[in-house]
Each structure stands twice: as C-alpha cells, then as structure tokens.
C-alpha cells in the first residue's frame, strides 16, 4: 500500500519559516520524481517544486529564492524548506510522487501565513 504522509504545516507569521516533510512508503522512492504542490482556497492546485531522480530541481517563479526542496533517499523522505513566507503562500501543501506515469498524492498539510 502506497502512502505519502506530509507533516510540518501550521500557522506562521509573515516572514517566518516552516519545513514540510513527506514520508513515503510502498514505493521505490529513489526512482520517483518527487514534488510539492499547493492549493489555496478557490484556486487550482499548482506546482511548487520538483526534484528529479538525478537531483535536478525546478521551482515555481513565485517561490524561487525562498523555498528549497530536497530529498533523502535513505529515509524515503522529501522536504520543503519554506523561508520568508508570505500570506499568499497560505494553502494546503501536497506531496506527489511520479514514476513513469504512476502517480500518488499525500493527504495534504495546511500552511497558514498571517500578515
């Protein structure tokens, strides 16, 4: 059974930081492209960052320079370090795994940034 379990969300003031974690089980983690998405109320889910099998990374323009995605294949975990948070970063953040078209989602973790 595949599970992606996010943690680390919460309430933070603007300018603060949070670190999200996503622990994966039931998948060949090191062979999956891992990503973080987010969905704000009333908006479509959007891609935040991806980290490929070879470690190459891409970010949405809105988070470049503030967020850092990383992975620890030994722990089957992907992280999202979020710094200089803004109210517009408020959303449910989802972990995503993709291997050759087989995709999985976590249940999401709420991040709320107060102004």
| pLDDT of 4 | 98
Which of 29, 22, 14 is closest to 105 using CA atoms?
22
Query: To the nearest whole number, what is the mean pLDDT of the chain?
Result: 97
Strand partners, 39: 92
Q: How far apart are CA 51 and CA 15, in angstroms?
A: 25
Query: Percent of the chain, pLDDT > 90?
Result: 99
Residues of the chain with confidence (pLDDT) below 70: none
| pLDDT of 22 | 98
| pLDDT of 63 | 98
| pLDDT of 29 | 96
Q: Tens digits of per-residue pLDDT, 53-77? A: 999 999 999 999 999 999 999 999 9
């Amino acid at each position: 059974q595949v599970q992606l379990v996010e943690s680390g969300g919460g309430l933070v003031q603007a300018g603060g930081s949070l670190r999200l974690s996503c622990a994966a089980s039931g998948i060949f983690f090191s062979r999956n492209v891992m990503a973080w998405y987010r969905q704000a109320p009333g908006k479509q889910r959007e891609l935040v960052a991806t980290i490929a099998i070879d470690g190459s990374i891409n970010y949405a323009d809105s988070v470049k320079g503030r967020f850092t995605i990383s992975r620890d294949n030994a722990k089957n975990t992907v992280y999202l370090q979020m710094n200089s948070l803004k109210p517009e970063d408020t959303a449910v953040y989802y972990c995503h795994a993709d291997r050759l078209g087989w995709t999985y989602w976590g249940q999401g973790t709420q991040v709320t940034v107060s102004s």
